[in-house]
Amino acid sequence: MIPQFVSKRLIGRQCLPHAHYIFHILRGQIRLKSSTVFSGMQPTGVAHLGNYLGALRAWGQLSTSTPQQFDNTIFSIVDMHALTLPPPPDKLREYKLTAAALIIASGVDPEKCILYVQSEVSGHAELCWILSCFSDIGYLNRMTQWKSKMNLTENSSVTDDAAVQNLRLGLFAYPVLQAADILLYKATHVPVGQDQIQHLELARHIGKRFNSAYDTKVFPLPDVLLTRTPRVMSLRDPKKKMSKSDPAEHSRIMINDPPELIRYKIKRAITDGDKSLTYDPVNRPGVANLIDMVAGLQNRTPEDVAEDVKGFGGHAELKEFVADVITKELQSVRENFQRLSSNPEYLDRLLRRGAERAGEIAQATLKEVKTTVGIY
C-alpha cells in the first residue's frame, strides 16, 4: 500500500484522505523526482508503543511502499546525539544494535533503504561545524528541548543562572547537528512527530541562510512529513506523554512485552468513573488515550473507533479490546526483534554496508559545500 500525502492547504479540513498510513506535508507538494527521505533515531534501548506508532512503523511503510515514492530512503541511528546525555559506553554500543533490530523488526527493508550508524559517517560532524557558523544563538535559545531536558520552563534563557551553571554546549547546540544530519543527504522530506517540527524549521532556516550567503542552491529545504497518529500518552497519567524515563514501568507498553504483560498494563490503565465510552481528549484523557492507540494501529480516526466501542459494556470491555489490538499488532514485531537481536553479526554487517552507502552520498555533498565556502 502506498503512503498518501496531502498539501498544507488541506490540513485541518475533514476531507483528509485515509490510507494504510497517512502523512501531512506541512509545506508544498510532494516531489517525486530527486526526492530523499531522511530520519534518525537515538539508540536508547527497546522502544515503546509511542515510538512504534510515531516513527518506526512509518519508516517501514516508507521503505517498502510500491511503487517507491522517493529516490532515496535513509534512516540513521544517531548515536552522536545520545552523547548529549551520555549513557555508559557499553550500553551505548548495545543500544545501537538494539535500535537496528527494532527498525528492521518494525518493517524497514534494509535492501530498499540505507540504514547506518551516524558516527560511522564523519561528514555529520564536518558539516555540523560549517553549519554552526551560520546558526544563531538566539534561535537555539528559543528551542524547547534543551529546556525540557534540564527541567526548565519554556521561557528560560541560556543566560539564566540555572542554564549557565549546568547547560552543556552539546545539549544546547545539538539541533545544528540534527540540521547537518538532514542537509548532508539533501533530504527533501523528513518524517517526524509534532514535537520535532521546531527542529525541522531550524534545519530549513540554516539551509536557507547558507544558500543565501553564497547565492547557491546547495541545500534543498526539507518538507515535514507529519503522521496522523496522535501522541501516545502514559497509561498511569494520560496527561503525560508515554516515556521510557517514567519511573512507573506500567505506564508504557514496550515492543518486547509479552501478551500477558500487555494485557495486565492495559487493564491497570487509568480511565475515569464514567462508564460510557466517548472520545473527549480534554475531559476524558484516559479513555481517549486507549481509543487513540487503536486508531493509530488500525489506521482509522479516533471518532470512527469511538463509534465502534460506544456499545461496549464499559471500561473493562474496552480495555480487553485495546489489549487484543495491541498484542496482535506487536506479535510479529516482537518475534522479529528477538530473532534479529540474537544475530548481532548480521546487524553489524548491515550497518557497515549502510555506512558505506551513506558515506558516498555524504562525501559528494561535503565536496560541494567545501568548494562553495572555499576550503576544498
Cβ atoms of 229 and 296 within 8 Å: the answer is yes
For residues 233 and 240, the answer to whether their CB atoms sit within 8 Å is: yes
DSSP designation for 269: -
Please give the Cα distance from 185 to 124 (Å, whole number): 10
Peptide bond into 43 cis (omega under 30): no
* Alpha carbon 18 to its chain's center: 21
**C-alpha count within 13 angstroms, C-beta hemisphere, residue 11:** 15
Question: Which triple of cell numbers denotes residue 80?
Answer: 552522536
d(CA 186, CA 74): 11
Residues forming beta bridges with residue 76, ordered by sequence position: 40, 116
Tell me if residue 91 is catalytic. Answer: no
Which of 224, 244, 225 has its CA nearest to residue 234?
244
The residue annotated as part of the active site, out of 149, 208, 275, 367, is 149
Could you say which of 8, 241, 267, 370 is catalytic?
A: 241
- Which is catalytic among the residues 8, 91, 244, 370? 244
> How many Cβ atoms sit within 10 Å of the Cβ of residue 228?
18
d(CA 352, CA 358): 10
- Catalytic site residue 149? yes
C-alpha cell at 12: 485541518
Which residues are known catalytic residues?
A: 149, 241, 244
